[in-house]
C-alpha cells in the first residue's frame, strides 16, 4: 500500500530551543503507528549549512538539508522554532536573526502552511507573515512581540492560534498541542486523539485553553490591588459588583477601573470572571460536583452565565471541558 506523506521542514539555527525542534517530530512520528503507516509526514531539518547546530540546551543537531535545498522542494508545512536570551535582570528577550528571517520569508512563499512554536512567532512577525493576523507566543515575550510588530494582534492567552494557513503556538509543552492540532486538521480528530494517547497526553487540549491560570499570573507590585485580589478570592461566591469593590478599596469606580487596567491589564468585571472561570475549571477537572454547585461556589449566578463565560474565554462549554480534562476518576 502506498504511503501518503506531507513534507514538514523545521528551521534550524544556532541557539534554537531544543524542545521546539524535537517535540513536534515525536507527534508526527506516532501518526504512522496509528494509521498503519498509510498516511503521515516526512520531516526534514533545514539549516544554513550542513554543519551541526548547537541548541540552547547545548545539544547538537545535524541538519538534513540546507535552506537552499529546501527552497527547491514542495513544502507542506514550515515549522519555525524560536530562541531567547536572558539579561542580567532575568528578563527574557526573543531573538530574530536577520538571515533566518530572510530564509523563512523565502521558504514560506512555497509552503502550504506556516507554523511557529513558542517565540518562533517573532521570526514570523519579522518576516511580515503575521501582519494583520491574530497570533500567540510564549507569555514572557508577548509584550515584546506586540511592541515590535504593531500590525500583529497579539493574544498571549491561548496555547495556539490558527489564522488562515498561519498557525502560532505558545511555549514549552504547547508545541505538542499545536502539533496534535495539525494532525487533526490533516487527518481528523479521531486519529489525533489516538496519537495523544500514545504520547500519554490524557486528552488533546483545544486552542482556547489558557497558557496559564489566574493564580499563576505575575503578582502585582501594588499592595492595594493585591488586597483586592485576595478580597475577590475570599468572596468569589458573592455578587461582587464594581461598586462593592470600589467601596472596599475606598476609591471611585472610575479609579478602581483604572487601577485594574493598569495593574492587571483588564477591568474589574473581566478579572472577576477570569477568577470564576479558573475556579470552575479546577472543579471540573478534579471533582464530580454538579454544574449547579459550581455555579453557586464560583458566583456565576446561573448555569447560562457559566456557559457563556466558558464559551467566551475557552471556546467550549463546561460539560465539554470536563470530558476533555477530567483527571480524577473519583
**Rounded CA separation 280/307 (Å):** 11
Q: What's the pLDDT at 91?
A: 81
Reported as a single tens digit per residue, the pLDDT across 251-306 is 999 999 998 888 877 899 999 998 999 899 888 888 889 999 999 999 999 999 99
- pLDDT confidence tier of residue 209, bands split at 50, 70 and 90: low
Domain boundary among 198, 224, 245: 198
Q: What's the pLDDT at 215?
A: 45
Q: Is residue 209 part of a domain?
A: no
Q: Is residue 319 part of a domain?
A: yes
Q: Is residue 110 part of a domain?
A: yes
Q: Is residue 203 part of a domain?
A: no
* CATH number for the domain that contains residue 288: 1.10.10.60
Are 54 and 171 contained in the same domain?
yes
Are 83 and 159 contained in the same domain?
yes
Are 49 and 134 contained in the same domain?
yes
Q: Tell me: pLDDT of 163 over 60.
A: yes
Question: What's the number of CA atoms in the CB half-sphere (13 Å) around residue 126?
Answer: 20
Q: What's the pLDDT at 293?
A: 94
Q: Are 269 and 242 in contact (CB under 8 A)?
A: yes
Are 67 and 135 contained in the same domain?
yes
Are 133 and 245 contained in the same domain?
no
> CA of 166: how far to CAs of 129, 133, 232, in Å?
8, 9, 39
Domain boundary among 139, 169, 198: 198
Domain boundary among 165, 198, 231: 198
Q: Is residue 204 part of a domain?
A: no
Tell me the β-bridge partners of 65: 46
Q: Is residue 205 part of a domain?
A: no
Q: Who wins on pLDDT, 329 or 325?
A: 325
Identify the DSSP state of 139.
G
Q: Which H helix or E strand runs over 144?
A: helix 142-148
Question: What's the number of CA atoms in the CB half-sphere (13 Å) around residue 112?
Answer: 11
Are 296 and 320 contained in the same domain?
yes
**Rounded CA separation 117/238 (Å):** 40
Q: What's the pLDDT at 309?
A: 93
Are 186 and 233 contained in the same domain?
no
Q: Is residue 206 part of a domain?
A: no
Are 135 and 236 contained in the same domain?
no
Q: Are 21 and 12 in contact (CB under 8 A)?
A: yes
Q: For the residues of 49-110, what is the DSSP string, one character each?
A: SSS-EE-TTS-EE--SEEHHHHTTS-EEEEEE---EEE-TTS-EEE---HHHHHHHHHHHTT
Are 253 and 151 contained in the same domain?
no
Are 136 and 276 contained in the same domain?
no
* CATH number for the domain that contains residue 8: 3.40.50.880
* Three-class HEC string of 241-299: CHHHHHHHHCCCHHHHHHHHHHHHCCCHHHHHHHHHHHHHHHHHHHCCCCHHHHHHHHC
Are 163 and 238 contained in the same domain?
no
Catalytic residue set:
118
Q: Is residue 330 part of a domain?
A: no
Range of the structural domain that residue 124 is part of:
4-198
Specify the number of domains making up the chain: 2
Residue 168 three-state SS: strand
pTM over 0.95: no
Are 44 and 139 contained in the same domain?
yes
| Strand 4-11 to 39-47 pairing | parallel
Amino acid at each position: 500500500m502506498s504511503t501518503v506523506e506531507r513534507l514538514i521542514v523545521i528551521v534550524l539555527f544556532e541557539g534554537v530551543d531544543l524542545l521546539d525542534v524535537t517535540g513536534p517530530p515525536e507527534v508526527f512520528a506516532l501518526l504512522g503507528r496509528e494509521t498503519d503507516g498509510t498516511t503521515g509526514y516526512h520531516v526534514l531539518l533545514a539549516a544554513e549549512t550542513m554543519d551541526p547546530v548547537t541548541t540552547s540546551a547545548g545539544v547538537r543537531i545535524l541538519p538534513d538539508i540546507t535552506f537552499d535545498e529546501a527552497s527547491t522542494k514542495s513544502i507542506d508545512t514550515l515549522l519555525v522554532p524560536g530562541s531567547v536570551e536572558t539579561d542580567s535582570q532575568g528578563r527574557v528577550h526573543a531573538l530574530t536573526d536577520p538571515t533566518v528571517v530572510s530564509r523563512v520569508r523565502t521558504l514560506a512563499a512555497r509552503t502550504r502552511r506556516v507554523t511557529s512554536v513558542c517565540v518562533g512567532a517573532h521570526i514570523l512577525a519579522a518576516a511580515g507573515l503575521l501582519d494583520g493576523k491574530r497570533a500567540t507566543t510564549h507569555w514572557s515575550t508577548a509584550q515584546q512581540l506586540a511592541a515590535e510588530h504593531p500590525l500583529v494582534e497579539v493574544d498571549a492567552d491561548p496555547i495556539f492560534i490558527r489564522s488562515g494557513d498561519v498557525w502560532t503556538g505558545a511555549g514549552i509543552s504547547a508545541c505538542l498541542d499545536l502539533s496534535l492540532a495539525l494532525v487533526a486538521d490533516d487527518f481528523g480528530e479521531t486519529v489525533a486523539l489516538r496519537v495523544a494517547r500514545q504520547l500519554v497526553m490524557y486528552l488533546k487540549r483545544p486552542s482556547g485553553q489558557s497558557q496559564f491560570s489566574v493564580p499563576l499570573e505575575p503578582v502585582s507590585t501594588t499592595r492595594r490591588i493585591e488586597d483586592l485580589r485576595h478580597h475577590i478570592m475570599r468572596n468569589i461566591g458573592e455578587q461582587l459588583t464594581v461598586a462593592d469593590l470600589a467601596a472596599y478599596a475606598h476609591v471611585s469606580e472610575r479609579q478602581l477601573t483604572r487601577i485594574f487596567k493598569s495593574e492587571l491589564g483588564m477591568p474589574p468585571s473581566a478579572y472577576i470572571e477570569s477568577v470564576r472561570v479558573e475556579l470552575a475549571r479546577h472543579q471540573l477537572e478534579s471533582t464530580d460536583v454538579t454544574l449547579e454547585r459550581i455555579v453557586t461556589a464560583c458566583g456565576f449566578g446561573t448555569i447560562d452565565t457559566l456557559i457563556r463565560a466558558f464559551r467566551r474565554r475557552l471556546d467550549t462549554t463546561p460539560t465539554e471541558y470536563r470530558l476533555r480534562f477530567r483527571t480524577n476518576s473519583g
